[in-house]
Structure 1
């Protein structure tokens, strides 16, 4: 397990990212994911800048982005990401009913994906046609 770089032990470069995280998220703390990435400041900065850009409001609303993040995290078996993005989705209004339905969709999608891969199902021509 990587060491967690706390604010009192962080370099100026890391502290600048931590401050941006806190300001952007309107919080007074930095979670462990970022503290672990701080072991390599260039990665910390790159991933933070990417997350900040991708998760910002856009064509998809912030809750939808969190739901997608949960789905990918469940599929990738990332317990940390499941917990953090579930908390974030709840803060953005996700209900327990929505979470349950999301988990059902994730489960069936993973099952049908594996079946399609296992059977080598060819993609229907109709699905490939541009409309």
Structure 2
């Protein structure tokens, strides 16, 4: 599929593109959105959800981006890794922070698999 550029987008897609550009203060939307635009309902639902989840809240924006980055690494999404690394760097992530996120992500993946493989029962102290 080819990305749907603004000039070629139907009105409902243009409305989402406009909201993305306004919210993120960017001149154009990135390729992820241009490909989701093939299904306008999915485009709108996904943007609305991301906008809500990534909005200012109890968790600092940089921490949110680093969480998104860690999950993207775990899921093996190259596009998402690139996108959220760039966003985290823009929000202030240093090389040292990136390295630490990668170390924690790698360790969590390893120990999660070990716990699953060994079928480790949950300790009573962890219940709740």
Same fold (TM > 0.5): yes
Whether 1:37 and 2:39 are equivalent positions in the alignment is: no
Question: What aligned pairs does 1:49-68 form with structure 2 within 5 A after superposition?
Answer: 49-68=48-67
Q: Secondary structure at the match of 2:104?
A: helix
Q: Which runs of 5+ in 2 are unaligned?
A: none
2:121 match: secondary structure: coil
Following superposition, which runs of at least 4 residues in structure 1 exceed 3 angstroms of deviation? none
Please report the TM-score for the alignment, with normalisation by the length of structure 2.
0.98
Distance 2:80 2:114 in 1: 26
5+ residue gaps in structure 1?
none
| Deviation at residue 29 of structure 1 after TM alignment | 1.1
Q: Which residue of 2 aligns with 1:79?
A: 78
Mapped to 2, the partners of 1:8 and 1:23 lie a distance apart of: 17
CA contact (8 A) 1:3 1:39 kept: no
Deviation at 1:8, TM superposition (A): 1.2
State the distance in 2 between where 1:118 and 1:84 align: 32
Q: Give the CA deviation at 1:99.
A: 0.2
Deviation at 1:3, TM superposition (A): 2.0
